[in-house]
Amino acid sequence: MQAVEKNAKEVVLEKLNKKPLIISGPCSAETEAQVIETAQRLANTGKVDMLRAGIWKPRTRPGSFEGIGTKGLPWLQQAKKLTGLPTTVEVATAKQTEDALHFDVDMLWIGARTTVNPFSVQEVADALRGADVPVLIKNPINPDLELWTGAVERVAKAGIKKIGLIHRGFSSYGNTDYRNAPMWHLAIEMKRRNPELIMINDPSHICGRRDILLEVAQKAIDLDYDGLMIESHIDPDNAWSDAKQQVTPEKLAEMLDAIVWRKEDVNSEAFHAALEKLRQQINHLDDEMMQLLSQRMKLAEKIGQYKKENNITILQTSRWNEILERAFVRGEKIGLGKEFITKYFDAVHMESINHQNKIMNA
């Protein structure tokens, strides 16, 4: 008995060290037959490492399907028995955590709506104390790396050894192309701060629709993510939750085949030499750009001095508009997008204002 259990834990750890790690399954477990058929069809693709299913569903508005609850856990046990796929579910309370562990769920994840709430994360962490189970932590719904980090720390302090991250995008008001804007830079920064944690991408909840799943998954792979969690359903259009973003197991397999899997590295001296040369050029340009920016700030300080002497405001909207318009026109000619120009000049402008502020209020 002991030996068998140890084996199951080893299998899961092995999967977690595999790259890419592919996790798939329905947004929600709905019926035993649905869970088992999904698992079998996923297993048949030979491309999926773990089975996911939501048992308790945090829905934004009441009245929609809020998960089958604990009675769905034995279905997952059965699916694992039939297919060999280890299982993973989302937990948000102590009771859910205890139940999931009681029914041998192999890995747990903390959802975006839980990561935002330190009370809830702590409650789950306390329930995890003493458990030997990997835990993945989704980014919080709002773009706040400290909350994400705090959740990692709470779970780590509970003694959980294997922790990973899931990037599922960040919510914003109004309609956008995405259900949750990816804000890739935040996930990249989180990866930079925590190189020892695996980073999984969840295209399903980023996209909220099927047609752009592949594009987002490819981008994640290009950014060296460790794996993907993608929702799949035997009858996506009639899924009880997140119908628009789910795909059949067979469609998932097609998508995984369409992805160009990149390596982080190759053992070729010529490749490394060429890369090194280009990287040196980039470093050189970065140095130059910083030097130029520093010069630009010195000019801004001089202007600040004049403004101070003549008692004029720092911000002059018409001048700011002129700078931006000029930059858009030039940017378009040399292949720099409007969004980038706006972000870049916003940052430069703010730094200029800070420099002038110092001079004027010295």
What is the distance between the alpha carbons of residues 56 and 73, in angstroms, rounded to a whole number? 10
Coil, helix or strand at residue 248: coil
Contact 29, 53 (CB under 8 A): yes
For ligand PEP, the closer of residues 58 and 84 by Cβ is: 58
For Mn ion, the closer of residues 125 and 200 by Cβ is: 200
- Choices 24-32, 120-128, 321-329, 352-360 (CB under 5 A): range interacting with Mn ion: 24-32
For ligand PEP, the closer of residues 112 and 124 by Cβ is: 112
Q: How far is CA 94 from CA 101, 123, 128, 129, 131, in A?
A: 11, 6, 8, 11, 13
What is the distance between the alpha carbons of residues 307 and 300, in angstroms, rounded to a whole number? 10
CB of 53 to ligand PEP, least distance (A): 9
CB of 34 to Mn ion, least distance (A): 15
What is the distance between the alpha carbons of residues 273 and 269, in angstroms, rounded to a whole number? 6
Task: Give the distance from CA 116 to its chain's centroid.
Answer: 14
99 binds, among Mn ion, ligand PEP, none (CB under 5 to 8 A by kind): none
Residues binding ligand PEP (CB under 6 A): 27, 54, 58, 90, 111-113, 138, 168, 205
For ligand PEP, the closer of residues 138 and 233 by Cβ is: 138
208 binds, among Mn ion, ligand PEP, none (CB under 5 to 8 A by kind): none
112 binds, among ligand PEP, Mn ion, none (CB under 5 to 8 A by kind): ligand PEP
Note whether 27 binds Mn ion by CB under 5 A. Answer: yes
The C-alpha torsion from 23 through 29 and 32 to 36, rounded to 10°, is -20
What is the distance between the alpha carbons of residues 133 and 34, in angstroms, rounded to a whole number? 26
For ligand PEP, the closer of residues 170 and 345 by Cβ is: 170
CB of 142 to ligand PEP, least distance (A): 12
For the chain, first and last CA: distance in Å? 74
- Choices 153-161, 235-243, 323-331, 352-360 (CB under 5 A): range interacting with Mn ion: 235-243
Contact 87, 107 (CB under 8 A): yes
